[in-house]
């Protein structure tokens, strides 16, 4: 019942307003004007007269209905999250019980055998590695594009390019997957071979091949997919930088890049973090494009160019068709792990934004 | 520290629109000059063309010559950033950098100049804040956000940020229009102190303020909306407010404008 005083406070202000309009009545012509907006709110009209009492707060009205509606919407989020968690756990537990190997450390995925064996380690590793790599490639490029569009490009060109970038976000991931698997794989294979020849002494570029359908291909395709999200969100944030702050920097003798560093980037920091996290969310959950471009092997390896790699989501897409009951339970357990990873990522992002709250709030 | 400004035939455009035309005036070092006139008469545009901030807006350009101690700041080979370092600016609304602390705000300009050494920055920040009459109020919370100060304090913080880079000229674009009378008084007092070191040019809508703080006053006006603003009269402040030589000036300062 913490909301009761709040509601009565509303009623109080409403009452004062009515009373003051009542006092204005003797002013003649203004009386009609003063009354009409009031009477649309309280059709009964009692208490509107010069000496009458205040109108009573209504027991039920649009105000309360709207409050109820928003409360229901807010609650729905919690209910849905709880329902997902319950579903995942209920399905996963029996399969985890049937597992004859350690779920965390076993490198392999054969849950359909009579003695089910499956481990999440390789998949979780592949998921995190490919996403991290994708962000490493996409974020600098995306921020560069966003800054160019918001602060360097002529306005018309900026708008047109921004539209194209948004269009890139609308390409279905299966199309990216097909393109990556059949076309993009060729230059990546050549580049991998070149890397292997000259930089093979670095473990991540080592190995004897075959190259191509590797973590590198998957990450590059992922990077292209998250690029438009990060770009268009950061562009919006950069455009919102107050002109007053940009001019303050310029008036201190900043070059354009110095102005961006002094005024634009710090102001946009929480927005950039949010954009990157959204991109990471997409990368972590991306399924079909990775199922098509990765080599699908089970084994933890930092090698980026050899055929191989797998992620939780890609594995679910690939293995769900042939899975039996335990197999499905095992896949759902892996989904639960993915859910947890995403949750941790989001909480971390929140924490980063929260830490600088004092500064970002006064910015708003 | 302070320099003389000569404007000759300064004309400024926003795209095809001519905002001011053929402004000629000379500002002596270590004086306060007030620019007054009705809204839209181009006084802010002229102020912004003195430190080349006018051209920041898309499509805006300036013609004519503006010299600081004999050097034309609109010469082709002049570095714009050097001009702006020499001629600082305080804006109408206080605009401290919202993500920076009070200290970082004050030293922002010095950082842009490449100063990194903590002891030098500390010293410069204290000097600038003292000059801006803000030191006593903020010395215990230099690490707190600059945007958390009151409006008047924020404006003095912006003045501290401007004078920290030790410019020759300080331009103020209606610096008190967003402030209450007490904060306004604090800023006006500050202007008296600052004119020992800097040449100050202030745009103001408040004629009492112009009369209180300035040595010389320039009155700008326009014929009608859409016409470029022109300089009508430029003289000692006392003369402008007691015995102006132009009828238009008299009409404006006595409130019979329009």
Interface predicted TM-score (ipTM) of this complex, two decimals: 0.90
Put simply, whether B51 touches A (Cβ < 8 Å) is yes
A286-311 pLDDT tens trace: 989 999 999 888 888 888 888 888 99
CB under 8 Å to B232, separation ≥6 — which residues? B37, B219, B220, B221, B246, B248, B249
Q: Look-up: residue for tokens 């995403």?
A: A342
Where exactly are the structural domains of chain A? 1-59, 109-363
Domain count, chain B: 1
Rounded to a whole number, what is the distance in Å from the CA of A243 to chain B's nearest CA? 9
A121-145 pLDDT tens trace: 999 999 999 999 999 999 999 999 9
Percent over 70 (pLDDT), chain B: 98
Residue A127 confidence (pLDDT):
93
Helix, strand or coil, per DSSP, at residue B20: strand
Which residues from A are below 8 Å from B95, CB to CB?
Answer: 242, 244-245, 247-248
- Buried b vs exposed e over A98-134: b needs ≥16 C-beta within 10 Å? ebeeebeebbebbbbeeebbbbbbbbbbbbbbbbebb
Which residues from A are below 8 Å from B174, CB to CB?
Answer: none
* C-alpha span between B85 and B69 (Å, rounded): 15
Predicted confidence band at A51 (pLDDT cuts at 50, 70, 90)?
Answer: low
Q: Tell me the average pLDDT across A155-164.
A: 90
Is A55 within 8 Å of A19 (Cβ atoms)? no
CB contact under 8 Å between B97 and A263, yes or no, is: yes
Is B25 within 8 Å of B216 (Cβ atoms)? no
Is B62 within 8 Å of B19 (Cβ atoms)? no
Is A219 within 8 Å of A236 (Cβ atoms)? no
Percent over 70 (pLDDT), chain A: 82
A205 pLDDT above the threshold of 80: yes
CB contact under 8 Å between B97 and A262, yes or no, is: yes
Q: Tell me the average pLDDT across B154-172.
A: 92
β-sheet with B60-68: strand ranges across: B17-27, B5-14, B60-68, B71-72
Helix, strand or coil, per DSSP, at residue A44: coil
Residue A4 confidence (pLDDT):
40
Put simply, whether A253 touches B (Cβ < 8 Å) is yes
Predicted confidence band at B169 (pLDDT cuts at 50, 70, 90)?
Answer: very high
Q: Tell me the average pLDDT across A169-197.
A: 92
* C-alpha span between B115 and B184 (Å, rounded): 32
B200 pLDDT above the threshold of 90: yes
Task: Decide if B258 is inside a domain.
Answer: no
* Among candidate residues A128, A118, A174, A165, the one with its CA nearest the CA of residue A146: A165
A227 pLDDT above the threshold of 90: yes
Task: Decide if B117 is inside a domain.
Answer: yes
DSSP 8-state assignment for residue A101 = S
Which residues from A are below 8 Å from B84, CB to CB?
Answer: 250-253
Residue B160 confidence (pLDDT):
93
Which stretches does DSSP call E strand in chain B? Answer: 5-14, 17-27, 32-36, 60-68, 71-72, 87-90, 169-173, 199-203, 216-221, 230-236
Residue B171 confidence (pLDDT):
95
A175 pLDDT above the threshold of 60: yes
For the record, the structure tokens of A256 come out as: 């354009």
Residue A59 confidence (pLDDT):
67
Residue A352 confidence (pLDDT):
78
Residue A356 confidence (pLDDT):
63
For the ranges A57-66, A182-191, B27-36, B162-171, the lowest mean pLDDT is seen at A57-66
CB under 8 Å to A250, separation ≥6 — which residues? A259, B53, B56, B84
Closest residue in chain A to residue B92, using alpha carbons only: A244
Predicted confidence band at B177 (pLDDT cuts at 50, 70, 90)?
Answer: confident
- Read off the pTM: 0.78
Q: Tell me the average pLDDT across B42-56.
A: 92
Is A230 within 8 Å of A223 (Cβ atoms)? no
Residue A309 confidence (pLDDT):
87
Predicted confidence band at B231 (pLDDT cuts at 50, 70, 90)?
Answer: very high
* Among candidate residues A268, A143, A153, A149, the one with its CA nearest the CA of residue B58: A153
Q: Tell me the average pLDDT across B95-120.
A: 91
Predicted confidence band at A50 (pLDDT cuts at 50, 70, 90)?
Answer: low
For the record, the structure tokens of A55 come out as: 């109108």
A9 pLDDT above the threshold of 70: no
User: What average pLDDT does the structure give for chain A?
Assistant: 82
CB contact under 8 Å between B53 and A250, yes or no, is: yes
User: What average pLDDT does the structure give for chain B?
Assistant: 90
Closest residue in chain A to residue B49, using alpha carbons only: A251
Which residues from A are below 8 Å from B178, CB to CB?
Answer: none
Put simply, whether B147 touches A (Cβ < 8 Å) is yes
For the record, the structure tokens of A344 come out as: 């941790």
Predicted confidence band at A3 (pLDDT cuts at 50, 70, 90)?
Answer: very low
Domain A109-363 class in CATH? mainly alpha
A89 pLDDT above the threshold of 50: yes
Predicted confidence band at A177 (pLDDT cuts at 50, 70, 90)?
Answer: very high
B35 pLDDT above the threshold of 70: yes
- Buried b vs exposed e over A160-187: b needs ≥16 C-beta within 10 Å? ebbeebeeeeeeebeebbbbbbeebbee
Q: Tell me the average pLDDT across A190-217.
A: 88
CB under 8 Å to A58, separation ≥6 — which residues? A42
CB contact under 8 Å between B93 and A244, yes or no, is: yes
* C-alpha span between B194 and B131 (Å, rounded): 8
DSSP string, A200-239: TTSGGG-S---BSSBHHHHHHHHHHHHHHHHHHHHHHHHH
Alpha helices per DSSP H over chain A? 4-23, 30-41, 62-98, 121-147, 155-169, 173-179, 185-199, 215-239, 243-251, 256-259, 265-285, 288-293, 312-319, 325-355, 357-363
CB contact under 8 Å between B51 and A251, yes or no, is: yes
A362 pLDDT above the threshold of 70: no
* C-alpha span between A28 and A31 (Å, rounded): 6
A58 pLDDT above the threshold of 80: no
Residue B113 confidence (pLDDT):
85
| Cα pseudo-dihedral A125, A129, A131, A136, rounded to 10 | 160
Residue A5 confidence (pLDDT):
41
* C-alpha span between B214 and B203 (Å, rounded): 11
Rounded to a whole number, what is the distance in Å from the CA of B31 to chain A's nearest CA? 21
Q: Tell me the average pLDDT across A190-218.
A: 88
Task: Decide if B52 is inside a domain.
Answer: yes
A12 pLDDT above the threshold of 70: no
CB contact under 8 Å between A245 and B165, yes or no, is: no
Predicted confidence band at B234 (pLDDT cuts at 50, 70, 90)?
Answer: very high
* C-alpha span between B98 and B146 (Å, rounded): 7
Query: The domain containing residue B74 runs over which residues?
Result: 5-253
Predicted confidence band at A359 (pLDDT cuts at 50, 70, 90)?
Answer: low
Put simply, whether B162 touches A (Cβ < 8 Å) is yes
Predicted confidence band at A47 (pLDDT cuts at 50, 70, 90)?
Answer: very low
Residue A298 confidence (pLDDT):
84
Q: Look-up: residue for tokens 């010095």?
A: B110
Residue A218 confidence (pLDDT):
94
A320 pLDDT above the threshold of 70: yes
* C-alpha span between A207 and A74 (Å, rounded): 52
Task: Decide if B65 is inside a domain.
Answer: yes
Put simply, whether B109 touches A (Cβ < 8 Å) is yes
Put simply, whether B58 touches A (Cβ < 8 Å) is yes
Residue A257 confidence (pLDDT):
92
CB contact under 8 Å between B91 and A267, yes or no, is: no
Supply the CATH number for residue B162's domain: 3.40.50.300
Residue A55 confidence (pLDDT):
79
Q: Tell me the average pLDDT across A224-231.
A: 93
B212 pLDDT above the threshold of 80: yes
Mutate one of A152, A241, A253, A272 to test the B interface: name it (highest B CB count within 10 A): A253
| Cα pseudo-dihedral A270, A274, A275, A278, rounded to 10 | 170
Put simply, whether B108 touches A (Cβ < 8 Å) is yes
Is B43 within 8 Å of B229 (Cβ atoms)? yes
């Amino acid at each position: 019942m913490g909301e009761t005083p709040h509601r009565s406070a509303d009623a109080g202000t409403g009452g004062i307003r009515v009373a003051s309009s009542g006092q204005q009545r003797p002013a003649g012509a203004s009386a009609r004007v003063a009354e009409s907006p009031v009477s649309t709110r309280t059709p009964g009209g009692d208490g509107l007269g010069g000496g009458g009492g205040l109108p009573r707060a209504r027991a039920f009205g649009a105000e309360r209905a709207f409050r109820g509606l928003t409360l229901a919407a807010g609650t729905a989020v919690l209910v849905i999250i709880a329902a997902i968690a319950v579903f995942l756990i209920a399905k996963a537990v029996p399969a985890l019980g049937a597992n004859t190997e350690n779920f965390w450390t076993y490198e392999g995925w054969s849950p359909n055998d009579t003695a089910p064996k499956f481990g999440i380690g390789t998949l979780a590793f592949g998921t995190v590695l490919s996403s991290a790599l994708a962000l490493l490639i996409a974020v600098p490029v995306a921020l560069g594009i966003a800054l160019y569009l918001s602060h360097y490009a002529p306005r018309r060109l900026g708008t047109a390019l921004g539209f194209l970038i948004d269009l890139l976000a609308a390409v279905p991931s299966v199309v990216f997957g097909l393109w990556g698997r059949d076309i993009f794989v060729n230059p990546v294979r050549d580049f991998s071979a070149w890397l292997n020849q000259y930089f093979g002494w670095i473990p991540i570029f080592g190995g004897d091949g075959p190259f191509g359908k590797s973590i590198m291909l998957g990450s590059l395709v992922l990077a292209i997919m998250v690029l438009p999200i990060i770009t268009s969100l950061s562009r919006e944030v950069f455009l919102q930088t107050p002109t007053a702050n940009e001019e303050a920097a310029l008036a201190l003798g900043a070059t354009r890049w110095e102005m961006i560093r002094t005024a634009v980037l710090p102001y946009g920091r929480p927005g950039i973090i949010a954009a990157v996290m959204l991109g990471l969310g997409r990368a972590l959950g991306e399924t079909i494009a990775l199922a098509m471009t990765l080599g699908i092997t089970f084994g933890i390896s930092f090698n980026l160019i050899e055929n191989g790699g797998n992620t939780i989501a890609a594995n679910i897409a690939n293995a769900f068709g042939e899975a039996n009951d335990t197999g499905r339970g095992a896949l759902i357990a892996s989904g639960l792990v993915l859910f947890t990873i995403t949750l941790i990522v989001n909480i971390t992002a929140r924490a980063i934004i929260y830490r600088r709250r004092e500064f970002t709030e006064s910015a708003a | 520290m302070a320099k003389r400004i000569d404007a000759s035939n300064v004309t400024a455009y926003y795209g095809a629109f001519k905002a001011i035309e053929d402004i000629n005036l000379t500002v002596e070092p270590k004086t306060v000059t007030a620019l007054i006139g009705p809204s839209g008469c181009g006084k802010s545009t002229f102020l912004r063309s003195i430190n080349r901030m006018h051209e920041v807006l898309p499509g805006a350009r300036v013609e004519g010559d503006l010299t600081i101690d004999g050097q034309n700041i609109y010469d082709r080979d002049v570095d714009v950033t050097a001009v702006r370092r020499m001629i600082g600016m305080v804006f109408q609304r206080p605009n401290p950098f919202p993500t920076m602390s009070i200290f970082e705000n004050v030293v922002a300009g010095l950082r842009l100049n490449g100063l990194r050494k903590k002891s030098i920055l500390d010293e410069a920040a204290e000097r600038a804040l003292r000059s801006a009459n803000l030191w006593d109020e903020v010395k215990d919370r230099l690490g707190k956000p600059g945007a958390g100060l009151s409006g008047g304090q924020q404006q003095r913080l912006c003045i501290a940020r401007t004078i920290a880079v030790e410019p020759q000229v300080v331009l103020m674009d209606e610096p008190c229009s967003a402030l209450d009378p007490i904060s306004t008084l604090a800023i006006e007092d500050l202007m008296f102190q600052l004119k020992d070191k800097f040449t100050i040019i202030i745009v103001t809508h408040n004629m009492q303020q112009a009369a209180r703080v300035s040595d010389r006053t320039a009155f700008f006006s326009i014929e009608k909306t859409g016409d470029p603003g022109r300089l009508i009269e430029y003289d000692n402040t006392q003369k402008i407010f007691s015995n102006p030589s132009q009828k238009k000036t008299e009409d404006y300062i006595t409130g019979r404008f329009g």
